[in-house]
Amino acid sequence: MTSAIHVRDLRKSYGELDVLRGVDLDIAQGSIVALLGSNGAGKTTLVRILSTLLPADSGEASIHGLDVATAGPQVRATISLTGQFAAVDEVLTGRENLVLVAQLRHLAEPGRIADEVLARFSLTDAGQRRVSTWSGGMRRRLDIAMSLIGEPRVIFLDEPTTGLDPQARIEVWQAVKEVASRGTTVLLTTQYLDEAEQLADRIAILHEGRILVDGTLAELQDLLPPAEVEYVQKQPSLEDVFLAVIGTDRGAA
């Protein structure tokens, strides 16, 4: 498939701290890839470089063939970024937030676009209420909806369910699946193993600035032998794979 995101030997340091130490990654167009890693693994740094918010020290990175270092305006026109906290205006209604984004993108008929997006994310009933009255899950869904106005080809979701309760997380998962169903490429960073299992076509494990493994859930599970309990074969979980790959001892956690 066509590569939407291409990264080769990407490096970034802050003084003596090496955050990215030669990252290689290719993401196919229209897929969901989960970038899995502990705090400090370099996930947010990689997303910031890919979204042109931070320069890399060396290496190469491109979005649909556009170099993120030299074609910043063109890259930004094709992507959208949703951070760890919902960037919505709580004084405005949900619909007003969407209309504002459509106007900032100089799109025709912002009201119609807002109504279509509200319906697409099952937020029509709440659309006329101030966002300050919405639940956390609804705000995150609105945040993702706002990032899709203008039909970006690639969307970065940087730990989108941080701090949400289980029900709100499920609501966000449904929103991400809706995004991907229309062919948008999604790079999702997360610390939650079940989130990667639920959403991703492929999973890349980033540890200490390097991608250690990259594959489907089944391919990652095949890295470990299945456990046997009374002649019943059990597939290793993604958690088993993650801890084995990064070399963490469960008992020392």
Half-sphere exposure of 153 (CA within 13 A, CB side): 16
Q: Which of 74, 27, 35, 72 has the alpha carbon at shortest distance from 54?
A: 72
Q: For residue 180, what are the contacts with CB-CB under 8 A and spacing of at least 6?
A: 30, 31, 32, 186
Q: For residue 20, what are the contacts with CB-CB under 8 A and spacing of at least 6?
A: 10, 11, 12, 13, 42, 45, 46, 49, 56, 209
Could you tell me the two tokens for 187? 């790079």
Q: Is domain 3-248 in CATH 3.40.50.300, yes or no? A: yes
Neighbours of 110 (CB within 10 A): 19
Q: What residue ranges do the domains of the chain occupy? A: 3-248
CA 163 vs. chain centroid, Å, equals 16
In this structure, the dihedral spanned by the alpha carbons of residues 104, 109, 111 and 116, taken in order and rounded to 10 degrees, is: -100
Task: Note down pLDDT in tens along the chain; length 253 residues.
Answer: 568 999 999 999 999 999 999 999 999 999 999 999 888 899 999 999 999 999 999 999 999 999 999 999 999 999 999 877 668 899 999 999 999 999 998 999 999 999 999 998 889 999 999 999 998 888 888 988 898 888 899 999 988 888 778 877 888 888 888 888 888 999 999 888 889 998 999 999 999 999 999 999 999 988 888 766 555 667 788 878 888 888 765 444 4
Q: Report the interhelical angle of 136-148 vs 166-181 (nearest 10°).
A: 20
Residue with token string 């074969």: 233
Q: List, in sequence order, every residue forming a beta bridge with 12; answer none if it has no partner.
A: 20
Tell me phi and psi for residue 205, to 5 degrees.
-100, 115
Residue with token string 């062919």: 183
